[in-house]
Chain A
Amino acid sequence: MWFRLGIRRFKREAEPTIRELKFSLNRIKSSPLSIVGIAIILFFVAIAILAPLLAPPPKGWRDPYMIPHEGWDPTPKPPSAEHPFGTTQHQYDIYYGCIWGTRTALYVGFVVVGTGVLISIVIGSIAGYYGGVIDEALMRFTDIIFAFPTLVLAMALVTAFGPSLESVIKALILVSWPSYARVIRGEVLSVKQNDYIEAAKSIGCSDFRVIVRHVLPNSIFPLLIMASLDIGAIVLTEAALSFLGLGPPIGFADWGQMIAFSRNWIVGPPGDPYKYWYTYIIPGLFIFTFVLGWNLLGDAFRDILDPTLRRR
């Protein structure tokens, strides 16, 4: 009896949320670009999960993230039966690199954005909620990080940490959390003024509870939008760092590295300038599609969730 009461109550309380959700879903369905975005992302997630099946590492191969290669012949080979996408210089299999590179990209993207969001939620909500000196101090700190263009600061950090995938992730987290923190802080600031916060506080809710139950749920949407747009940007920055030699070790399955391998083969011999097209077109397509997917998704989120644009 208590149980049935609980469910009915839940349904009643949740009704507006569910209605909004349904509305959101409808909007998503009616926007073709959003569907494309979601489809792309799901496609990549599927590849990442199925990587061991799609591109099994050779028997006895110790680390599946190191791309297998037969010998070290410097010249890339075109697509063939054994190497569906061809090979890069030193014979790294492009197909293998792109498939397992999907895992790397998603891993880097989610870890960086996820950790950045977590850090920023803590710092941003503290700054926004308590205000005053704490806020000033924290915001000055983020200002300092904002004083540097992303790639430049990331370069400096990775150079200092020593190039490796972990360094890149650490550096990117350090460089991205400030922008999320700013957003959370802004949202917290505006929500803070609302009456229901006053009400909650007056009945004795602890600060923590107020923040978690009332402030955050209402501030999270802009963050979601930023985060999804950022996953694409993060992967691009990681690729740029790999290109500058500041990424994972040579031979690691990473899209940025595959592009870096292609760097000197973009212009082929005079009679056949696009001879090695597969070294840069294929990994490039992976990166581009991935970034496109997240962009479309992010734009879709914005168009759908932004209250001012929501109902036209």
Chain B
Amino acid sequence: MELKHYIIRRILLLIPTLIGVTLLIFAVIQLFSPVERAALYIRDPRQAKDLPGIIKKYHLDEPVYVQYYYWLREVLKGNLGYSKSVNMPVFDAILNFFPATIELVLYSAPLIVLLGIKLGVLAAIHKDKAADHLTRVSSIIGWSLPSFWLGILLLAIFYGQLGMFPPERLGTEASVYVNSPNFIRYTKINTIDALLNGQLWIFIDALKHLVLPVASLTIQIVALIVRIMRSSMLEALNRGYVLAARAKGLEEHDVIYKHARKNALIPVFTVTGILLAGMLTGVIITETVFNYKGIGYWAAHAATQLDIPAVLGFALLAGVIFVFTNLIVDILYAYIDPRVRLG
């Protein structure tokens, strides 16, 4: 089918998937009894007397489909509940913490993609030789290490011992300036805002604080990507057209970089999906370790306090982001590879 039709079809499919995502989250909420769900709104013993009132107010004891309607209505209005671990509504928390994570992802993603692809290709080309083994073992190490290990060790060395790269997002002086009326926070992404405000020193300060979290996140996710890239490259190298190219006498270099890699890049789009999943998961622990106040930090903090609205809010957000990104990836995929849309 034509690309246009494929795109329309995929976009239409989006709606039931999104509904499905909300249904799943709603189903998880339903695991609690009305009283337990009401209890999640109280903070002080004396308010506990009012549980029946809370149940009435949030329609918590009505039939399931009625509850779903009210719940979904609230969600679409932006009301995802109250995150007691940070004392603000969940929606506000998301708006508040998201820009920090975006900044982190902004700097990590290009590094991860470049390194991941490069190393994966390297390992595939030199299969079963030293470079391959080295890359594979390093990637397994990077993947098997508990994430906070890496983060804290990096902190201990580069902050504790060498004093070079501090945790958090900004130093004290920069933080005070950023929050003063002299500084306009257009995007809440510090590096961008600093440039827009013409304050170079803040730009540098923010970058300094980004080094370690970006390094930690990159190492973790590159490990994941290398193996995917390697196996997809291996597959590509064994395809018929590669043999044919070799038989024709083309130089190995051309075979790899002109033919195999281009086709191996298709799975790179799949890699983007994994990258995103890795990010959404990776930031949870990385941001916690570096006290970097993004949504990962918020989710982890909420989990330890069993702040259910927050954890579910985060899951819902992750789900929605994923669904949309997959849509874009699928469309790009279809654009590049006609076989896909013929479906």
Contacts and interface: CB of A to CB of B under 8 A. Distances in A.
Contacts of B25: 156
Contacts of B12: none
Interface string B19-30: 011011100110
A239 interface: yes
A243 B281 CA distance: 13
Interface in B46-82: none
Interface in B1-52: 16-17, 20-21, 23-25, 28-29, 31-32
A295 B322 contact: no
A243 B318 contact: no
B326 to A, nearest CB: 8
B147 interface: yes
Contacts of B314: 152, 155-156
B115 interface: no
A143 interface: yes
Nearest to B153: A266
A159 B304 CA distance: 9
Contact of A288 (B17, B144, B238, B312): B144
Contact of A148 (B29, B148, B235, B322): B322
B277 interface: yes
Contacts of A245: 303-304
A239 B145 CA distance: 10
Interface in A252-309: 259, 263, 266-267, 270, 273, 280, 284, 287-288, 291-292, 295, 299, 302, 308-309
B149 A266 contact: yes
A146 B161 CA distance: 42
Nearest to A242: B146
Give the interface SS of chain B, mostly helix, strand, loop or mixed: helix
A144 B23 CA distance: 9
A266 B284 contact: no
Interface string B272-300: 00001110110011000000000000011
Interface string A236-255: 10011001111000000000
B338 interface: no
Contact of B31 (A140, A141, A161): A161
B17 to A, nearest CB: 6
A284 B161 contact: no
A53 interface: no
A144 B326 CA distance: 12
B149 A144 contact: no
A151 interface: yes
A133 interface: no
B49 to A, nearest CB: 24
Contacts of B141: 288, 292
Given A143-B17, A148-B318, A150-B281, A160 B308 contact: yes
A263 B151 CA distance: 11
Interface in B138-159: 140-141, 143-149, 152-153, 155-156
Contacts of B153: 266
Nearest to B296: A152
B315 interface: yes
Given A144-B17, A152-B315, A159 B146 contact: no
A232 interface: yes
B156 A155 contact: no
A153 interface: yes
A130 to B, nearest CB: 19
A160 B28 contact: yes
A161 B146 CA distance: 24
A156 B311 CA distance: 6
A144 B133 CA distance: 36
B234 interface: yes
B20 A144 contact: yes
B280 A287 contact: no
A147 B285 contact: no
Contacts of A211: none
Nearest to A232: B144
A120 B103 CA distance: 39
Given A155-B299, A266-B156, A243 B20 contact: no
B300 A244 contact: yes
A157 interface: yes
A280 B149 contact: yes
Can you list the 3 inter-chain pairs with the closest CB atoms, starting with the nearest?
A144-B20, A149-B277, A291-B144
Interface of A: 33, 140-141, 143-153, 155-157, 159-161, 163, 232, 236, 239-240, 243-246, 259, 263, 266-267, 270, 273, 280, 284, 287-288, 291-292, 295, 299, 302, 308-309
Given A152-B314, A163-B306, A292-B140, 10 more contacts: A148-B319, A155-B303, A244-B284, A266-B152, A273-B160, A280-B149, A284-B146, A287-B146, A288-B141, A291-B144
15 contacts: A144-B17, A147-B323, A149-B277, A149-B281, A149-B318, A150-B277, A152-B284, A152-B299, A155-B303, A156-B311, A159-B306, A236-B143, A236-B144, A284-B145, A308-B238
